Amino acid sequence: MKKSNNITKSALSEKDGIIAPKSKDKSAIDKIKKKRRSKKSTDSLIEGIFKGDIVDLSRGITLIESGNPKHIKEARKIVKACLKNTTTSIRIGITGVPGAGKSTFIEAYGKYLTEKRKKVAVLAVDPSSSVSKGSILGDKTRMETLVRNPNVFIRPSASGINLGGVAQKTRETILLCEAAGFDTILIETVGVGQNETVVHSMVDFFLLLKIAGAGDELQGIKRGIIELADAIIINKADGENIKSAKLARVEFARALHFYPEMASGWNPKVLLTSALKNEGIMEVAELIQSYENHTKENGHFNRKRIQQNTNWFMQTIETRLRDEFMSRTEIKSELEHQISLIKKGETTAFDAAEKLFSK
Amino acid sequence: MKKSNNITKSALSEKDGIIAPKSKDKSAIDKIKKKRRSKKSTDSLIEGIFKGDIVDLSRGITLIESGNPKHIKEARKIVKACLKNTTTSIRIGITGVPGAGKSTFIEAYGKYLTEKRKKVAVLAVDPSSSVSKGSILGDKTRMETLVRNPNVFIRPSASGINLGGVAQKTRETILLCEAAGFDTILIETVGVGQNETVVHSMVDFFLLLKIAGAGDELQGIKRGIIELADAIIINKADGENIKSAKLARVEFARALHFYPEMASGWNPKVLLTSALKNEGIMEVAELIQSYENHTKENGHFNRKRIQQNTNWFMQTIETRLRDEFMSRTEIKSELEHQISLIKKGETTAFDAAEKLFSK
């Protein structure tokens, strides 16, 4: 904090060298000063992020999350600057139903990583967090050790906006964290709705956390998630659970055998962990490392990132076109009317669209 | 054909009763006549479709597939009329790699259905058909018996357009077939690209056809398809294949156990068939019937159709917005430029979109 303040001050006194007008209009002088200060502070914020200043990083993310047009403009400048400074990193998505032990797993895995001199950022994609309260990362005390670790940065999910908004903000937050020197980005999400698909679209490695149970392990997990997983971790494999966890491992490995090959040429693995007892964590870390080596060697790692960026671009365009179109008052009411006609089977999709466009 | 011609003639001589102008300008008279003829013929075409006239149905589909603006207008009128006449039907998607025996299966299944007094329409979604030639339905001789059956209507995939276009035209073709009294619509596709996802989005029941092999049954099948399947049929379960087919059945059933429950509350089943020897076909038919009963009872059947129609509507809007935006010359070149910047990591998706919209 102190460091960043220093930068701000020196930057303010040196740069541009505009001479204040001799006008007696104090408010005009204030305006110019304010303008200069805000401009400098964006630059110094970027500088601070590059230096790994956590406070500046947090402020940058707050700007990204803001809906204020001035902040949006500032945030865009910061994100663009950070893009250029992106370091080599790995982005890991972690999903699982509530109770699978995501926080405990991240606590153990994060600790392992920092011991290997890694810098870890923990983010969350959970648009419902503002509503459901007790959700992931809301309670930082669940990651006691990590919170106090200077090489770990934890940031809860942006709230009060829809999934698309959270996704965009998380993508930009990743770039800022990477610019700040974090080389391992963990993105946590609960396996509900479309969350995990969205997280999958922004990570290099996707990890599904499960618990061994009495055959109902899949309860609450949406169809399609298993096919996205680069690894399935059966957590809480300790005490009385060990036997069923081992059984589940065999069965999952068998089931995975029936899935077609992944584009990455990677064969998803099933591992056992007890995050609570700190068991199996090294194996997970080594597995992810071998994935990174494998996909960097065959070029998939980079190809996937480029593809993700291109998809994100196209998605941004489509979302914006749709939002601008739908926000028009005359379209809104017609849209509802046409949807009700469709539901009653009284018009075709094509005809309904035609009606909308004739407006 | 004859019947439909009769309708056209009588309609022409009776309806509207416009008196031809006494002008000596023959071309003006011709124009009016032509206009009347085309107007009447759309009405009579619709009438013919309702009566189950195969020739009128084919002509209607040809209009749907046409790119001619006049035809598009006519087609829209027909589709809208057919929407109102939609009967109770079941739409079944059938996918599988080339060689899985889709044509033979459809031949056997279609024969079984017509013996049960069903009227069967066989459509295809295969945008590549015009390129790859030897693809599905291109060779009708593979469905020898069905082709000659008066209660069966076979129509190859629309060609020369992209998947989105084929999807729209197939959806509209389904409506026409149903209006013409076909109660079982089979939609065939090869399990490549996005085809099967698109087919899945327009059917009530989705069937994956496989062959038992030496553990490489999944070759060529994309990840994600198995999760879409309401049933997996292991075909060619005859002769030397029987043992491996039975083994595959057990393994698949086990693998399916690991998939989360479907929204329909339906548990996907694995069945064996030998379409060539006409074995197991009745079991498939009964399975699909029990799916229909099950989902009609719990309301899923209707909910799914309404959801599909609503999705299709939103998709139509988005596609149109995107196409109109992208077709502008200044956007086209800027788009390419921004994509190349993204690929080089020199801009963010959001910033690139901003540049595009400022044009």
pLDDT tens track for B60-76:
999 998 888 899 889 98
pLDDT of residue B15: 36
Segment B189-193 mean pLDDT: 71
Q: How far apart are CA A32 and CA B330, in angstroms?
A: 37
**Are A254 and B252 an interchain contact pair (Cβ–Cβ within 8 Å)?**
no
Answer whether residue A38 shows pLDDT above 80.
no
pLDDT of residue B11: 36
The domains of chain B, with CATH numbers, are 2-82 (no CATH), 86-298 (3.40.50.300), 308-358 (no CATH)
Count Cβ–Cβ pairs < 8 Å, chain A vs chain B. Answer: 158
CB contact A270 to B (< 8 Å): no
**Are B321 and A322 an interchain contact pair (Cβ–Cβ within 8 Å)?**
yes
Label residue B140 by pLDDT band (50, 70, 90): low
Scanning every residue of chain B, which has its alpha carbon at the shortest distance from the alpha carbon of A175?
A: B348
Ranked by mean pLDDT, the top range of A238-247, B122-131, B276-285 is B276-285
* Structure confidence by residue, pLDDT tens digits, B3-25: 443 333 333 333 333 334 444 56
Segment A8-15 mean pLDDT: 36
Label residue B86 by pLDDT band (50, 70, 90): low
Ranked by mean pLDDT, the top range of A15-29, A248-262, B209-223, B318-332 is B318-332
Label residue A28 by pLDDT band (50, 70, 90): low
Answer whether residue B220 shows pLDDT above 60.
no
* Structure confidence by residue, pLDDT tens digits, A133-182: 344 454 555 677 888 899 999 988 776 677 777 888 899 999 999 999 99
**Are A339 and B226 an interchain contact pair (Cβ–Cβ within 8 Å)?**
no
Residue B87: CB atoms within 10 Å = 11
**Are B260 and A222 an interchain contact pair (Cβ–Cβ within 8 Å)?**
yes
Of A222, A317, A352, the CB nearest to B353: A317
CA torsion, ordered A331, A335, A337, A341, to nearest 10 deg: 140
Label residue A7 by pLDDT band (50, 70, 90): very low
**Are B313 and A260 an interchain contact pair (Cβ–Cβ within 8 Å)?**
no
CB contact A321 to B (< 8 Å): yes
Label residue B221 by pLDDT band (50, 70, 90): low
**Are B260 and A79 an interchain contact pair (Cβ–Cβ within 8 Å)?**
no
pLDDT of residue A75: 92
pLDDT of residue B214: 41
**Are A339 and B310 an interchain contact pair (Cβ–Cβ within 8 Å)?**
yes
SS (H, E, C) B204-252: CEEEEEEECCCCCCCCCCCCCHHHHCCEEEEECCCHHHHHHHHHHHHHH
Q: Residues of B numbered 196-225 whose beta carbons fall under 8 angstroms of chain A's beta carbons: which are they?
A: 218-219, 221-225
Q: Which residues of A touch B321 (CB under 8 A)?
A: 318, 321-322, 325
**Are B260 and A342 an interchain contact pair (Cβ–Cβ within 8 Å)?**
no
Q: Give Cα A66 distance to the centre of its chain.
A: 16
Q: Which of A87-101, A271-285, B20-34 has the lowest mean pLDDT?
A: B20-34
**Are A310 and B350 an interchain contact pair (Cβ–Cβ within 8 Å)?**
no
**Are A316 and B349 an interchain contact pair (Cβ–Cβ within 8 Å)?**
yes
| CA–CA min distance B112, chain A (Å) | 31
pLDDT of residue A330: 86
pLDDT of residue B26: 63
Q: Give Cα B258 distance to the centre of its chain.
A: 30
Which residue is associated with the tokens 């043992």?
Answer: B243
CB contact A227 to B (< 8 Å): yes
CB contact A318 to B (< 8 Å): yes
Amino acid at A154: I
- With a threshold of 0.90, tell me whether the complex ipTM lies above it: no
B66-84 burial by CB neighbour count: b if 16+ within 10 A, else e? eeeeeeeebbbbbbbbbbe
Residues of chain B with pLDDT > 90: what percent? 40
Segment B210-222 mean pLDDT: 58
What residues does A186 pair with on adjacent strands? A92, A122
**Are B252 and A258 an interchain contact pair (Cβ–Cβ within 8 Å)?**
yes
Q: Which residues of B touch A325 (CB under 8 A)?
A: 317, 321
**Are A172 and B348 an interchain contact pair (Cβ–Cβ within 8 Å)?**
yes
pLDDT of residue B166: 84
pLDDT of residue B87: 61
Q: Which residues of B touch A257 (CB under 8 A)?
A: 255
**Are B218 and A171 an interchain contact pair (Cβ–Cβ within 8 Å)?**
no
pLDDT of residue A290: 96
pLDDT of residue A133: 39
Segments of B295-349 assigned E as strands:
none
**Are A352 and B313 an interchain contact pair (Cβ–Cβ within 8 Å)?**
yes
| CA–CA min distance B220, chain A (Å) | 8
**Are B342 and A313 an interchain contact pair (Cβ–Cβ within 8 Å)?**
yes
* CB neighbour class for B100 (10 Å; exposed up to 12, middle 13-18, buried from 19): buried
Label residue B225 by pLDDT band (50, 70, 90): confident
CB contact A327 to B (< 8 Å): no
Answer whether residue A33 shows pLDDT above 60.
no
B218-250 burial by CB neighbour count: b if 16+ within 10 A, else e? beebbbbbbbbbbbbbbbbbbeebeebbeebbe
* Structure confidence by residue, pLDDT tens digits, A101-111: 888 999 999 99
Scanning every residue of chain A, which has its alpha carbon at the shortest distance from the alpha carbon of B347?
A: A80
* CB neighbour class for B283 (10 Å; exposed up to 12, middle 13-18, buried from 19): middle
Contact A186, A109 (CB under 8 A): yes
CB contact B162 to A (< 8 Å): no
Q: Give Cα B20 distance to the centre of its chain.
A: 44
pLDDT of residue B346: 84
Segment A106-133 mean pLDDT: 82
Q: Give Cα B344 distance to the centre of its chain.
A: 39
Answer whether residue A80 shows pLDDT above 60.
yes
Scanning every residue of chain B, which has its alpha carbon at the shortest distance from the alpha carbon of A354?
A: B317
Segment B240-247 mean pLDDT: 87
Q: Which residues of A touch B248 (CB under 8 A)?
A: none
Label residue B192 by pLDDT band (50, 70, 90): low
Tokens read off for B20: 């031809």
CA atoms A31, A32, A33, A39: torsion sign: positive
Segment A183-204 mean pLDDT: 86
Name which of A321, A334, A336 to mutate to probe chain B: the one with the most chain B Cβ atoms within 10 A of its Cβ: A321
What residues does B122 pair with on adjacent strands? B154, B186
Q: Which residues of B touch A354 (CB under 8 A)?
A: 76
C-alpha to C-alpha distances, B101 to A42, B105, B147, B208, B234, nearest whole angstrom: 64, 6, 17, 11, 10
CB contact B168 to A (< 8 Å): yes
**Are B320 and A222 an interchain contact pair (Cβ–Cβ within 8 Å)?**
no
State residue A339 phi and psi, 5-degree precision.
-65, -40
Ranked by mean pLDDT, the top range of A100-114, A221-235, B96-110, B256-270 is A100-114
The residues, any chain, with a CB within 8 Å of residue A23's CB and separated by 6 or more, are A29
pLDDT of residue B67: 82
Higher pLDDT among residues A263 and A183, named by residue:
A183
**Are A313 and B338 an interchain contact pair (Cβ–Cβ within 8 Å)?**
yes
Q: Residues of B numbered 332-351 whose beta carbons fall under 8 angstroms of chain A's beta carbons: which are they?
A: 338-339, 342-343, 345-351
pLDDT of residue A6: 38
Name which of B78, B257, B313 to mutate to probe chain A: the one with the most chain A Cβ atoms within 10 A of its Cβ: B313
Label residue B30 by pLDDT band (50, 70, 90): low
Segment A22-37 mean pLDDT: 57
Label residue A131 by pLDDT band (50, 70, 90): very low
Segment A47-64 mean pLDDT: 94
The residues, any chain, with a CB within 8 Å of residue A254's CB and separated by 6 or more, are B251, B254, B255
Contact A352, B79 (CB under 8 A): no
Segment B229-234 mean pLDDT: 93
Q: Which residues of A touch B357 (CB under 8 A)?
A: 317, 320
Q: Which residues of B touch A347 (CB under 8 A)?
A: 80, 83
Segments of chain A assigned E as strands:
90-96, 120-124, 152-154, 184-190, 205-211, 231-235, 269-272
CB contact B80 to A (< 8 Å): yes
Amino acid at B102: K
Of A84, A252, A351, the CB nearest to B258: A252
* Structure confidence by residue, pLDDT tens digits, A274-325: 998 999 999 999 999 999 999 999 999 999 999 999 998 998 898 889 888 8
Which residue is associated with the tokens 């002008």?
Answer: B23
**Are B313 and A218 an interchain contact pair (Cβ–Cβ within 8 Å)?**
no
| CA–CA min distance B215, chain A (Å) | 9
Higher pLDDT among residues B111 and B36, named by residue:
B111
pLDDT of residue B34: 56
Of A76, A83, A258, the CB nearest to B218: A258
* Structure confidence by residue, pLDDT tens digits, B303-357: 999 999 999 899 889 888 988 888 888 898 899 999 999 888 888 888 898 888 8
CA atoms B248, B250, B251, B252: torsion sign: positive
**Are A310 and B221 an interchain contact pair (Cβ–Cβ within 8 Å)?**
no
Q: Which residues of B touch A316 (CB under 8 A)?
A: 349-350, 352-353
